[in-house]
Structure 1
Amino acid sequence: MQHAPAHRLLWTGFNGLDAAEVQPGFQPGGIVLFARNLDPDPAAGPARCHALIQDLQARWGPLAVAVDQEGGPVSRLRAWVGPTPALRAIWTHGGADGCRRWGGLWGRGLHMLGFNVDFAPVADLYDPAPDAALGSRCAADTPEAATAAAGAFLAGLEAEGVRGCLKHFPGLGGTRLDSHVGLPEVTDPARLDVHVGPFQALAHPDRLVMVAHLRTPLSGGLPGSLSFRCVAGNPWGIQARWLPDDLEMGGADGFTWEDKARRCLEAGHEALLVCQTPAAAEACAEAVTRLPETLWAPAAARFRALRLRLPRRADPFEATAWKAWVDEIREAAAQVP
């Protein structure tokens, strides 16, 4: 299979609201937009976002274009649509039908903007403790219910042409330390066997699954995101299109960029998420190019094959349809306590 250059493995964040501002010094295979990339003006912002994505697709396509749009506390579109319910509230109030509806709503809006991947839903188990790291981002406290909620959300999202991504394998539910800050740990193998349940039920070889920076009994002291035994060599036999959580997070500190890139590829990831600073993205891109081609080429080919299958919108922004969608989102949000 034909493969892309090594730096096309990067799935990166960037600074700027318009394509002319985005000059990372290399050609990524994927981009991730955050609130910093979205003009908060609800009248001008959506069309500006659409133009940004179209311009970058024209320059670098085919691109995987992602956003973290879960709803609730993780809602990059908040400035345009207002507050929306978290997955916990959606599941509690509306069950699987509610989760499917909200997955479909987010999918429809993201597709209008030009996104083809949503880094959602959270498939971790809910922990009611006030200091839980994930809180209301998780739907339910049993594997069966969490599977039903995440699976329904995925079905709604992907019916609208936007790929979902299960996170955070093998399960951050019950942890207290935020992996953005440091490295959380799970020491009980039996707990892992329970928390991995939704991923076992919903993952398959073509499913995007994000791996947490989480130390486990399997990871040999490493973050699980950098360990073969926690990714492609996991003991549950789960197969997926693996992605590490953002490699700039505190949970992945303590490694050079070359070491992070090498360990990620050895673990079985097919893309490298570097989301926060241009300097880190460039350092990671340079590090990947120094690795043996035999290490990075299979991942590059697999990621390229995915990108070729993701939709790319070429039509103008539809302001009237967008306004109707925003009204529908606000009406649906008002129905969830």
Structure 2
Amino acid sequence: MTTAAPPAELLAHRLLCVGFHGTTMSAALRDQVQRGVRAVALFARNYESPAQLRALCAEIRDAAEGPMIVAVDHEGGRVQRFREGFTAIPAMREVGDTASAEHAMALGQTMAAELAGVGVNLDFAPVLDVDTNPANPVIGPRSLGADPALVARLGCALLEGLQSGGVAACAKHFPGHGDTDLDTHFDLPRLPHPMDRLRACELVPFRAAIAAGVASIMTAHVVFPALDPDRPATMSPAVVDGLLRRELGFDGLVFTDDLEMKAVADHFGSVEAALAAVRAGCDLLCVCSDADLQARIAESLARAIADGALARQQVARAIGRADRVRARFSGG
């Protein structure tokens, strides 16, 4: 007897990491979870207090009747979604200035204790971008510094602190967003460095994080012509499957950056970018605000799975990687 293949709609929703509005579980989110969503990204708009957040995370898990990825950007500095009731984490540049791995690990442990305590089990941190461009409009103090070895050493300490406390880390933005001069929320940057430069600088922290056992990595909406002249890393098989999976040997969970960002939305279309990202080797597609767009992406993915344009074997591998993180970091 053969087991029936899972419905395409269920598989499509398993590929999404969705954001939503409100401080309680909305009917729309409940419907998405019932359809198969098992990853949620939280923002400041979802937060009132630790008690409220703990109840929200429990409600989400109850709706799923099983493990969920409940994620947040909790980097420190200006990118910390939960403020009142949480330790104020310094900007990573301040952490880098200490050059102390012990301090970085202790911060990771503090972050993990507070996040796990409310039911969050994945942190979109650390930022492993090497800040080699003082004019970078989006990374800057979010980076640990301009020295690849320092970023690698402290970034690994931070992620080890997080993961030892039961919260999955997500190193970002692969293969490196530190030397760009445009903000991917609004524009599509190109970083024209040759591969020898990328290997000597941008890739150093990511290689170290992989060796340290980082649970997940987030891609950059940045074009690297040395790897792929036409597509940003998020959508590029050469970057995700070729460089990250094959050359660097990473078989963990790969998130896209938010597909609503203009770097992909304006240049490729978010729906088209979602399909390309899965084909490139990404596992979870972040769509962080627009419920209508989330539905359209799910419909597009389901059609592609049903008609064979997206291989079920590849989809199964992506879901399997997410399942492993859900099982290891089971959260509340």
Normalising to structure 1: TM-score of the pair? 0.85
Question: The residue matched to 1:65 in structure 2 has which SS?
Answer: strand
**Preserved contact between residue 68 and residue 330 of structure 2 (Cα < 8 Å):** no
The CA distance in 1 between the partners of 2:264 and 2:328, in whole Å, is 30
2:298 equivalent to 1:285: yes
Selected match of 1:259 from 265, 269, 272: 272
For 1:200, the equivalent position in structure 2 comes to: 207
2:14 equivalent to 1:8: yes
2:222 equivalent to 1:219: no
For 2:42, the equivalent position in structure 1 comes to: 33
The CA distance in 2 between the partners of 1:213 and 1:270, in whole Å, is 15
2:259 equivalent to 1:247: yes
The CA distance in 2 between the partners of 1:51 and 1:101, in whole Å, is 27
Q: Within 5 A, what are the aligned runs for 1:87-102?
A: 87-93=92-98, 95-102=100-107
Question: The residue matched to 1:185 in structure 2 has which SS?
Answer: coil
**Preserved contact between residue 20 and residue 42 of structure 2 (Cα < 8 Å):** yes
Counterpart residue type for residue 317 of structure 2? P
Counterpart residue type for residue 300 of structure 1? I
Question: The residue matched to 1:15 in structure 2 has which SS?
Answer: coil
Q: 1:257 to 1:89 in 2, by over 3 A?
A: closer
For 1:237, the equivalent position in structure 2 comes to: 247
The CA distance in 2 between the partners of 1:301 and 1:83, in whole Å, is 35
- By how many angstroms is 1:19 displaced? 1.7
The CA distance in 1 between the partners of 2:271 and 2:180, in whole Å, is 29
Deviations 1:29-69 (A, max 9, x none): 20000001001xxxxx1101000000110101321010000
Question: The residue matched to 1:242 in structure 2 has which SS?
Answer: strand
Counterpart residue type for residue 287 of structure 1? S
**Most deviating of 238-247 and 100-109:** 238-247
For 1:57, the equivalent position in structure 2 comes to: 61
Q: 1:215 to 1:130 in 2, by over 3 A?
A: closer
- By how many angstroms is 1:133 displaced? 2.7
For 2:52, the equivalent position in structure 1 comes to: 48
For 1:209, the equivalent position in structure 2 comes to: 217
Q: 1:312 to 1:81 in 2, by over 3 A?
A: closer
The CA distance in 2 between the partners of 1:100 and 1:247, in whole Å, is 31
Selected match of 1:182 from 156, 173, 187: 187
Q: 1:24 to 1:256 in 2, by over 3 A?
A: farther
Deviations 1:104-145 (A, max 9, x none): 110110010101100000011123625443011111212111
Q: 1:31 to 1:154 in 2, by over 3 A?
A: same
Structure 2 unaligned segments of length 5 or more: list them: 306-310
For 1:304, the equivalent position in structure 2 comes to: 323
- By how many angstroms is 1:301 displaced? 3.0
Q: Within 5 A, what are the aligned runs for 1:122-137?
A: 122-127=127-132, 129-137=134-142
The CA distance in 1 between the partners of 2:295 and 2:132, in whole Å, is 37
Q: Number of residues paired by the alignment?
A: 308
The CA distance in 1 between the partners of 2:74 and 2:161, in whole Å, is 14
**Most deviating of 266-275 and 198-207:** 198-207
Runs of 4+ in 1 over 3 A off after TM superposition: 1-4, 20-25, 79-84
**Preserved contact between residue 15 and residue 278 of structure 1 (Cα < 8 Å):** no
